[in-house]
Amino acid sequence: MAFEYRIFPEQQLLTTRFYGVVTEQDFRQLRADIQCDPFYDPGYRILDDLTDVKEVDISADRLSEFAVSTIARPHSRRALVVTSDFQRGMARMYRSLSVFAGQDFMIFNDMKQAMLWVTSQDGARRGEQMAGEETVI
């Protein structure tokens, strides 16, 4: 397994961390684990930490499928944290596909800024830029 997750019901927040080589099976297993977790609610905001991902072994077709069939409700906030050009490229591809699922989606290179944005009730909305964040295309 190349992932772990935590659920914070009091904050209505799901955090995930991917590391090493991430495969299609890892992604499917993570989704299954989260959806079966009694503490998870699809309305929760999501913070994905991709900073330790070295490789993604998922086809473009499967990545598209995962992005469109999100486990979150439409308009749920989702922040991805990346540090490398490779991670940023994968996050951008995932984000471009996820907009069809209606997610409020931002990519950050700073964990603190990502946490501030994803947990904010009245902060920046989609398309507004914060320090350490990429403008949504």
What confidence tier does 75 reach under pLDDT thresholds 50, 70, 90? confident
**Into how many domains does the chain fold?**
1
CA–CA separation, 133 and 96 (whole Å): 15
- pTM, two decimal places: 0.82
Helix (H) or strand (E) holding 56: strand 45-57
Please determine, for residue 134, whether its predicted confidence score (pLDDT) is greater than 60: no
CATH number at residue 20: 3.40.50.10600
Q: Is 125 a member of any domain? A: no
What confidence tier does 8 reach under pLDDT thresholds 50, 70, 90? very high
Q: Is 82 a member of any domain? A: yes
Please determine, for residue 132, whether its predicted confidence score (pLDDT) is greater than 70: no
